[in-house]
Amino acid sequence: QPTHNFSELLKLRDILGQRQKLFLGLNTEGQLCAAAWLIKATKESWHVQYIARDHTRNVACAVEATLCGAMEVVRDLGAKYLNLGICTENGGTVLNTGLLRFKESLGCVHHNRYLLTPKP
């Protein structure tokens, strides 16, 4: 289930302007196999908002290659950090160990953070 609908994505695109990048992973025939949408959070950090894969095109490591290319580009733009997002399910109550292992396989380091919010 996508976080945003198409209309919201278009609004985000307009709001973010130059603070975003879309990375596309193509196969040897030029067909789209994977994509990653990155948003510049600060001068030194980017956030991966979406990672997508076309499951009808079984290209080995399409997402991994797309993310590695994205990492190189934002590093060359001065980034020190790339946030690949959380690795949880069920409203943050369950750790998705498969997703965590995937992100760690890209060279990422997991950081636990706590969000404190006032009681209702």
Determine the pLDDT at residue 10: 87
Run of H or E including 22: strand 20-26
Cβ neighbourhood burial of 120 (10 Å; 0-12, 13-18, 19+)? exposed
Cβ neighbours for 68, distance < 8 A, ≥ 6 positions apart: 106
Determine the pLDDT at residue 86: 82
Query: Residue ranges of the chain with pLDDT lower than 50?
Result: none
Determine the pLDDT at residue 37: 93
Determine the pLDDT at residue 2: 66
pTM for the full predicted model: 0.76
CA dihedral (93, 41, 13, 57) positive or negative: negative
Determine the pLDDT at residue 100: 87
